Amino acid sequence: MLLLRDGKVLEIIENGLILAAFDFATFASAVHPLEPGDRFLLYTDGLVDAANA
């Protein structure tokens, strides 16, 4: 997930595993208070791993 705030991009990183696919996976909780004008970009690995059009 990417957070755009005041013209800067903050990457919010987790462990990268698919939710509920693996019993051993652990996920952290995080709190990011939203400010006016904030924008989020949520994407899947299909966006960054695409091999062709």
- Report CA 31 to chain centroid distance, whole Å: 13
Bridge partners of residue 8, in order along the sequence: 5
d(CA 35, CA 48): 27
Q: Report pTM.
A: 0.59
- The model's pLDDT over 1-53, given as tens digits with 9 standing for 90+, comes to 899 999 999 988 776 677 777 788 887 787 889 999 999 888 776 656 667 66
- Decide: residue 3, CB within 10 A, 0-12 exposed, 13-18 middle, 19+ buried: middle
Element (H, E) at 47: helix 45-48
